[in-house]
């Protein structure tokens, strides 16, 4: 009978770690077995001790199962030479049994798995790109029309850049066909190609984000980075209600585009409670709303599964989830690792946004804009748009190069000038430093093409430089003549001083009353002082003239170096270091 009896593994608490084995019980088993064996009569050739009987008696005493398997495990415990060896032996036996059970379970699972039917890849001939505007500003609308919807070769056209656009009205809905070869068209096809050409995420999607934000979670905080700077979203949506399970874009597919405001989507299959909410900042009214908004934003269809997992861990409200400490997230038993990571990142972002809203005291409208993440500064808005352009140039480097469009500068010159103007308007003290700070950033607003010099420019610059050189040569000649005159005068005074000193030496034998001999009413000492003063003045003038002559000569040499024909140099561009930031 094995009723209410334990296995040897359970009795000794054997697991995959040797540290969990109950060494006290194991030692008791070994001690009692040794005592039992001492009471057995000495073995002879005719009387054999039945070891199984002794093991069964031991099992009965400790209420252990006495089948053949557990008797074998019990024999292993009592027959080893030491306690440590017995621990290792029983652990090895436990792992062997565990591995056998797992192999059997895998075989059973594999035998029950139904053969999968290959999913057919559907080729779509029509698709829609949703341009979801998050900040309705004229600069953002201008970027959409002048860059995203413009052919690659015309994205830097001055005529396009000068066009003005107003913010779109809430009832405005733009829907048209995307021009082949425009920036957005090339970007869509490039992104799909980079994903392998065939899209298969394991389930049908109602939308496919073209630009996913970067989210990094570590033990300190969550870091979130949006390549589109929170100004807009680019999503592919199907012409039907959902994308097929597995699909690809046909080479001759027609791509439509629609420009919509957040919360104002007009497609019939998008008019539901979920998409009308602002999922950029998930609702914290309830745990269900929060998880649904997060899953809608992530486009993963895991809302129901994650909600069940959270409730299984006794989390029923948003506050329950938000108040989890960092170490407590890892203790959630049912929620998957990726689910923990994503939900924690949104919890951290919500806490940061709430903290920023509390610490900033502004007008009511400003508070409203801050909550939706809107940018108030014109220079900051233009800077974000410029960063988005840099992102597109990074993704479409080869395509822009083929169209002959250079990569933009690291900074937009308009942003640099506007930022300092805004600081002045906001009351920051200038103290003459703003213009110097502006010069520091200007090299980052230049590109290689800004340093290129064409033949026409070269001829014009040469004429200007030749005129400057001629003027400098005339100036140099005049300075040399002035220097010659100053030096002649200097040495005349020097000769006079030498003559006076000689006269003094010759008259040393004359009596003291004759030492006061004068020249034309002046004493010799006075004349010496006068000559010395004039020589000191002339020395300063000579040094000044020499400095001016050297500076003029350096300018002439620089101009003559600059007059060398560009084909003599290695290319037509000057040193690339000119457009590096100052250090």
Which three-class secondary structure string do you get for 93-118? HHHHHHHHHHHHHHHHHHHHCCCCCC
Q: Which two tokens stand for residue 145?
A: 């029309």
| pLDDT reported for residue 370 | 47
| pLDDT reported for residue 45 | 40
| pLDDT reported for residue 128 | 93
E-only strand ranges, 190-231: 198-199, 208-209, 214-217, 222-225
3-state secondary structure of 309: helix
Separation of alpha carbons 188 and 290, rounded Å: 30
| pLDDT reported for residue 142 | 92
> Are 462 and 563 spatial neighbours (Cβ–Cβ below 8 Å)?
yes
| pLDDT reported for residue 307 | 93
Separation of alpha carbons 335 and 368, rounded Å: 34
Strands 232-238 and 122-133: antiparallel
| Helix, strand, coil percent values for the chain (each to nearest 5) | 55, 10, 35
Q: How many CB atoms lie within 10 A of CB 561?
A: 8
Q: In the beta sheet, which residues pair with residue 130?
A: 235, 258
- Compute the Cα dihedral for 500, 504, 505, 506 and give only its sign: positive
Provide the residue ranges of all domains of the chain, joining segments of one domain with +: 8-112, 121-278, 283-371, 387-450, 455-579
Per-residue pLDDT for the chain (583 aa), expressed as one digit of tens each?
445 788 888 888 888 888 888 889 889 888 888 888 887 665 544 344 567 788 888 888 888 888 888 888 888 888 888 888 889 888 888 888 888 888 888 777 666 655 555 678 889 999 999 999 999 999 999 999 999 999 998 888 776 667 788 888 887 788 999 999 999 999 999 999 998 888 887 788 888 999 988 888 776 777 888 999 989 999 999 988 888 888 999 988 999 999 999 876 554 444 444 444 556 788 888 899 999 999 988 888 889 999 999 999 899 999 999 999 888 888 888 899 899 989 998 898 888 877 766 555 454 444 444 444 567 788 999 999 999 999 999 999 999 999 989 888 888 888 988 998 888 888 887 777 887 888 888 888 888 776 666 777 778 878 888 888 899 999 999 999 988 888 888 888 888 878 777 777 666 545 444 444 544 545 667 777 787 888 888 888 888 888 899 998 988 888 888 777 555 444 444 555 555 555 5
| pLDDT reported for residue 257 | 95
- The single residue listed with the structure tokens 């003290």 is 429
Q: How many CB atoms lie within 10 A of CB 512?
A: 6
575-578 contacts at long range (C-beta below 8 A, 24 or more positions apart): 576/448, 576/451, 578/443, 578/446, 578/451
């Amino acid at each position: 009978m094995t009723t209410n009896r334990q296995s040897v593994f359970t009795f000794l608490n054997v697991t995959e770690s040797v540290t969990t084995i109950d060494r006290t019980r194991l030692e008791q088993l070994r001690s009692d077995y040794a005592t039992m064996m001492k009471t057995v009569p000495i073995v002879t050739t005719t009387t054999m001790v039945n070891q199984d009987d002794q093991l069964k008696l031991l099992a009965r005493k400790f209420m252990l199962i006495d089948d053949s398997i557990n008797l074998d495990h019990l024999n292993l415990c009592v027959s080893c030479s030491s306690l440590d060896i017995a621990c290792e032996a029983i652990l090895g036996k436990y792992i062997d049994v565990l591995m056998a059970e797992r192999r059997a379970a895998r075989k059973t699972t594999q035998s029950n798995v139904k053969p999968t039917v290959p999913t057919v890849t559907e080729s779509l001939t029509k698709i829609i790109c949703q341009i979801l505007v998050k900040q309705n500003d004229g600069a953002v609308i201008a970027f959409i029309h002048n860059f995203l919807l413009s052919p690659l070769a015309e994205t830097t056209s001055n005529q396009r850049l000068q066009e003005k656009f107003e913010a779109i009205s809430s009832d405005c809905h733009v829907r048209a066909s995307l021009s082949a070869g425009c920036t957005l068209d090339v970007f869509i096809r490039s992104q799909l190609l980079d994903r392998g050409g065939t899209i298969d995420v394991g389930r049908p999607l109602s939308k496919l984000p073209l630009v996913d934000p970067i989210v990094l979670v570590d033990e300190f905080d969550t870091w979130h980075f949006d390549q589109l700077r929170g100004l807009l979203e680019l999503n592919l949506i199907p012409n039907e209600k959902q994308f097929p399970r597995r699909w690809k874009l046909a080479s001759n597919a027609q791509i439509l585009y629609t420009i919509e405001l957040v919360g104002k989507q007009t497609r019939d299959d998008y008019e539901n409670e979920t998409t009308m909410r602002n999922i950029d900042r998930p609702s914290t009214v309830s745990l269900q709303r929060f998880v649904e908004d997060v899953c809608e934003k992530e486009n993963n269809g895991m809302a129901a599964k994650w909600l069940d997992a959270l409730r299984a861990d006794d989390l029923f409200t948003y506050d329950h989830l938000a108040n989890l400490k960092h170490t407590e997230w890892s203790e959630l038993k049912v929620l998957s690792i990726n689910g923990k990571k994503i939900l924690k990142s949104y919890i951290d972002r919500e806490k940061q946004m709430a903290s920023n809203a509390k610490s900033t005291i502004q007008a009511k409208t400003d508070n409203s804009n801050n909550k939706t993440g809107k940018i108030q500064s014109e220079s900051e808005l233009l800077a974000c748009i410029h960063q988005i352009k840099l992102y597109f140039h990074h993704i479409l480097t080869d395509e822009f190069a083929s169209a002959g469009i250079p990569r933009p500068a690291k900074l937009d010159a308009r942003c640099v000038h506007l930022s300092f103007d805004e600081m002045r308007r906001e009351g920051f003290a200038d103290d003459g430093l703003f213009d110097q700070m502006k010069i520091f950033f200007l090299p980052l607003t230049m590109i290689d093409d800004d340093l290129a010099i064409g033949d026409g420019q070269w001829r014009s610059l040469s004429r200007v430089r030749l005129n400057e050189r001629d003027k400098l040569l005339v100036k140099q000649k005049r300075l040399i003549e002035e220097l010659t005159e100053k030096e002649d005068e200097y040495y005349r005074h020097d000769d006079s001083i030498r003559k006076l000193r000689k006269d003094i030496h010759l008259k040393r034998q004359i009596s003291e009353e004759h030492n006061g001999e004068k020249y034309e009413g002046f004493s010799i000492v006075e004349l010496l002082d006068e000559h010395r003063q004039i020589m000191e003045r002339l020395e300063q003038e000579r040094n000044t003239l020499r400095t001016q002559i050297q500076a003029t000569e350096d300018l002439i040499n620089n101009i003559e170096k600059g007059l060398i024909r560009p084909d003599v140099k290695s290319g037509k561009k000057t040193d690339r270091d000119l457009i590096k930031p100052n250090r």
